[in-house]
Chains A and B, each alone.
Chain A
Amino acid sequence: DADVTQTPRNRITKTGKRIMLECSQTKGHDRMYWYRQDPGLGLRLIYYSFDVKDINKGEISDGYSVSRQAQAKFSLSLESAIPNQTALYFCATSDPRTSYGYTFGSGTRLTVV
């Protein structure tokens, strides 16, 4: 099994629908992140969490919300999806005890039509 698992891998949804992307990890890392990747723009930070009780907005949090259900689980929700949220979404983990090396999930390709 992968260290960081994202579900679903691909999703097509309609404008206005609520959708949740899930991330779970077996690394035992406290820190988890959600990034969005668009062609030509690189990875941009949506939300991050340094432990179960900590949630922080990133650069582009508008239109998104997150939930840290446990150390191992960090979910990203789009309350009302819009077409410009079509992108590749990555979950990642890191740990200061291992010099902040990042481990990424395989990504979720989301299309909003």
Chain B
Amino acid sequence: KNEVEQSPQNLTAQEGEFITINCSYSVGISALHWLQQHPGGGIVSLFMLSSGKKKHGRLIATINIQEKHSSLHITASHPRDSAVYICAVRVGNTPLVFGKGTRLSVIA
């Protein structure tokens, strides 16, 4: 069974801090997704990656396929980054399997 573990579960940061959220998984995957869920509940896709690194604005996602590990970094964090960040993995053609999420609070 493919399991997806995220750490930490909860994270509080001061505005401006560099933030790292980690994701590890147990089996070989085809792709890994990072998603964001705001307090209103809506879920949006941030990144989809199968190797290397992707960057969008202040967000950076990396993946190490050999170590079965991915990180999501937020530079110069801001209160509007407060959300739940969710890691999910896909194996071949199968539906995504989700981690439990990391709840981030950024305090001004």
- Total residues of chain B contacting the partner, CB 8 A: 20
Q: Is the CB of B42 within 8 A of A100?
A: no
Chain B residues with Cβ below 8 Å from A107 are: 41-43
CB proximity of B82 to chain A, nearest CB, Å: 17
Q: Is the CB of A102 within 8 A of B100?
A: no
Interface of B: prevailing SS: strand
Of the A-B pairs whose beta carbons lie under 8 Å apart in the complex, a sample of 26, sorted by A's number, is A40-B100, A41-B100, A42-B86, A42-B98, A42-B99, A42-B100, A43-B86, A43-B98, A44-B98, A45-B95, A45-B97, A90-B43, A96-B93, A99-B31, A100-B90, A101-B45, A101-B48, A102-B35, A102-B45, A102-B96, A103-B45, A104-B42, A104-B44, A106-B41, A107-B41, A107-B43
Chain A window 40-77, contacts with chain B (Cβ cutoff 8 Å), 1 for yes, 0 for no: 11111100100000000010000000000000000000
Q: Is the CB of B100 within 8 A of A99?
A: no
The yes or no answer to A78 lying at the interface (CB within 8 A) is no
Q: A: which residues have CB within 8 A of B?
A: 33, 35, 40-45, 48, 58, 88, 90, 96, 99-104, 106-107, 109
CB proximity of B14 to chain A, nearest CB, Å: 26
CB proximity of B71 to chain A, nearest CB, Å: 18
Give the A-B pair count, Cβ closer than 8 A: 41
Q: B: which residues have CB within 8 A of A?
A: 31, 33, 35, 41-45, 48, 86, 88, 90, 93, 95-101
Q: Is the CB of A58 within 8 A of B95?
A: yes
Q: Which residue of B lies closest to A35 (CB)?
A: B98
Q: Which residue of A lies closest to B6 (CB)?
A: A42
Known: A40-B100, A43-B98, A102-B45. 13 other contacts (CB 8 A): A33-B95, A42-B98, A42-B100, A43-B88, A45-B97, A48-B95, A88-B41, A101-B48, A102-B33, A104-B44, A107-B41, A107-B42, A107-B43
Kindly name the residue among B41, B48, B93, B97 whose own CB sees the greatest number of chain A CB atoms within 10 A.
Answer: B41
CB proximity of A70 to chain B, nearest CB, Å: 20
Q: Is the CB of B101 within 8 A of A100?
A: no
